[in-house]
Amino acid sequence: MMLLAKAALGVSGALVAAGAYTFHEGIIRVDVDEFRAGGSHVHLWVPAAMVPMTMHFVPKHHLCDAANHAREFLPVAHALFKELKNFPDAEFVEVKDGEQHVQIRTHGGKLQIDVDEPDEKVHLLVPLSTVDDVVGQLEDSAPGA
């Protein structure tokens, strides 16, 4: 019985450690709802730590290609997301155009983008540190980096 308890504790400990690591950066949340016939409804919750980890498995030439395309914007994105973490929660952009409503804001270390239209709703929540990690990895993958 003691052996079983020790094994359970070991397994649980490992699971807790894995869970803590997986969720330490928070989650990426994507909600897309299209209110029309055949419209898609996507609701995705992904541990943020998975993204930079998964990028290590992307073939180098694909990353290099992506980095090459975004080369001009990567330094700006890197500076922006690195600095955004140091600022309090704020609404950076809000656009109301008829029945369309777009908001870009930061909240609790996350970038939140909400798009509300009569026939479509898109909500995105991404930890700033994850975006910064991804941009950093793309910068490292750029040709000549």
Partner 1 sequence: MSSFHRVFTTKAVLMTAAALLFSPARGLAQTSNAQAKAAPSTSSASEKGERWLHVRVICTDGKGDTVRVNVPLELAEKVLPAVNHDRLHNGKVRIDSSDINDVDLHALMEAIRSAKDGEYVTVQGNDNDVRVAKEGNQLMIHVVEKGGSKKSQVEVKVPMKVVEALLSAGKDELDLVAALHALGAQGDVELVTVKDSENTVKVWLDSKNVAD
Query: Which residues, other chains included, contact 48 with Cβ-Cβ below 8 Å and sequence gap of 6+?
Result: 25, 26, 27, 28, 126, 127, 129, 130
- Which is closer to partner 1, CB of 58 or CB of 79? 79
94 binds partner 1 (CB under 8 A): yes
Distance of alpha carbon 43 from alpha carbon 40, whole angstroms: 10
143 binds partner 1 (CB under 8 A): no
In 1-145, the DSSP E strands lie at 27-34, 41-47, 90-97, 100-107, 110-117, 120-127
| Residue in 3, 135, 5 with CA at minimum distance from that of residue 71 | 135
Q: Give me the count of residues in the chain.
A: 145
Distance of alpha carbon 64 from alpha carbon 67, whole angstroms: 5
84 binds partner 1 (CB under 8 A): yes
Given 35, 41, 83, 119, the residue binding partner 1 (CB under 8 A): 83
8 binds partner 1 (CB under 8 A): yes
- Which of these ranges, 7-15, 36-44, 54-62, 132-140, lies near partner 1 under the rule CB under 8 A? 7-15
Given 72, 118, 143, 144, the residue binding partner 1 (CB under 8 A): 72
* Contact residues: partner 1, CB under 8 A: 1-2, 4-6, 8-9, 11-13, 15-16, 19-20, 23, 26-27, 29, 72, 75-76, 78-80, 83-84, 87-98, 105, 107-108, 110, 125
